[in-house]
Amino acid sequence: LAHKFGVQNFVFASSSSVYGGSKSTFFSEEENVDNPVSPYAATKKACELLAYTYHHLYKLNVSGLRFFTVYGPRGRPDMAPFKFVDRVSRGVEIQKFGDGTSSRDYTFISDIVGGVIRSIDRPYPYQLFNLGKGNGTSLNEFISIVEKHTEKKAVIRQLPDQPGDVPYTCASVEKARILLGYEAEVSFDEGIRRTVDWYRTTQSDDSSDEVPTETPEIQPSGLSRSPSWAQIVSRSAIISK
């Protein structure tokens, strides 16, 4: 369709998951990512290959954006930032996998949006870009920051590491900085503060006869994408997955 309608610049979302179990301090777009460690990562790698093929055949300008763990207001309820804020705020148990040293490069939604806009405005024949913060946050630090901004103590259930979870992600954003002018501006501490503020505002706007429903998780999930639940009723809208 992009070729048929003469789209000048095709931008799509990839993921940091393509890096799998990379041992690099900073994940670079130049790394070989031919060995994904999850079905999700495999689909993202496949998208990058298909996008290159269409660029080659039809000379499309294509940019693939490898997002690093996006979070913030209205974020996915099955992801750890929303899940932890929600559960710690309500005194519900959270699950901590491993010793807490696993680390993720969490990127606030406004920084991701800024990167997307910049990539749309700056077409390239075919490029892949990391969009991340450029530094990681450990699970232990993550829980402490959530406790700080919710002003609640987390109820933690300690569990072993999950098979398939990568221990570390951190983006090299030098290429995006040079070619897109991209720079993440929101620290993880500030991003969680904004997320908690949004969460509290949303909760205070809930109608009195609507109560969030809790059901067991299908799979344990600390930093993974395993299915979960969360239901926040805001006026007449239900924010869900």
- Positions annotated as catalytic residues are 40
Asked if 3 and 54 touch (Cβ cutoff 8 Å), the reply is: yes
Number of neighbours of residue 90 by Cβ within 10 angstroms = 13
Q: Detail the DSSP E strand segments found in 132-180.
A: 137-138, 156-159
> Alpha-carbon distance 240 to 76, whole Å?
7
Q: What DSSP assignment string belongs to 21-57?
A: T---SSB-TTS-----SSHHHHHHHHHHHHHHHHHHH
Residue 141, SS3 per DSSP: helix
